[in-house]
Amino acid sequence: MAARPLDLGWVRVFEAVGRLGSLTAAAQELGLSQPAVSYTMRQLEEQVGGPLLVRGHRGCTLSPAGERLHGAATSAVAELDAAARAIRHATARPVVRLFTDYGFASFWMMPRVAAFREVRPDADVHIIASAAADPGMDAAEDVAVLFGGRRDFPSDALQLFPETVFPVCSPGFAARHGLSGEPGTVGALPLLHLDSTPEPRWFVWGDWLRAMGVARGADAGDLRFNTYGLVLQAAMADQGIALGWAGLVDGALADGTLVAVGPALSRPESGYWLKPGRTLSEPARALIDWILATVKAP
CATH number of the domain that 69 lies in?
1.10.10.10
How does pLDDT run across 212-228, given as a tens digit for each residue? 999 887 767 899 998 99
Same domain membership, residue 234 and residue 111? yes
Same domain membership, residue 19 and residue 129? no
pLDDT at 2 over 50: no
Q: pLDDT class for 6, splitting at 50, 70, 90? A: low
Instruction: Give the residue from 63, 91, 119 where a domain finishes.
Output: 91
How does pLDDT run across 198-211, given as a tens digit for each residue? 778 899 999 999 99
Contact 69, 14 (CB under 8 A): yes
Round to the nearest angstrom and report the end-to-end CA distance of the chain: 78
How does pLDDT run across 144-157, given as a tens digit for each residue? 999 999 999 999 99
Same domain membership, residue 222 and residue 101? yes
Same domain membership, residue 214 and residue 115? yes
* Residue 2 belongs to some domain of the structure: no
- This prediction has a pTM of 0.68
Q: Which letter, b or e, does each residue of 182-220 get, where b requires 16 or more Cβ atoms within 10 Å of its Cβ?
A: ebebbbebbbbbbebeeeeebbebeebbeebebeeeeee
How does pLDDT run across 224-281, given as a tens digit for each residue? 998 999 999 999 999 999 999 999 999 999 999 999 999 999 999 999 999 998 888 8
Same domain membership, residue 195 and residue 84? no
Residue in 191, 196, 185, 187 with CA at minimum distance from that of residue 243:
191
pLDDT at 125 over 70: yes
CATH number at residue 185: 3.40.190.290
Residue 218: give the domain boundaries: 96-296
Instruction: Give the residue from 51, 76, 91 where a domain finishes.
Output: 91
pLDDT at 130 over 90: no
Same domain membership, residue 257 and residue 128? yes
Q: pLDDT class for 90, splitting at 50, 70, 90? A: low
Instruction: Give the residue from 55, 74, 91 where a domain finishes.
Output: 91
Same domain membership, residue 132 and residue 28? no
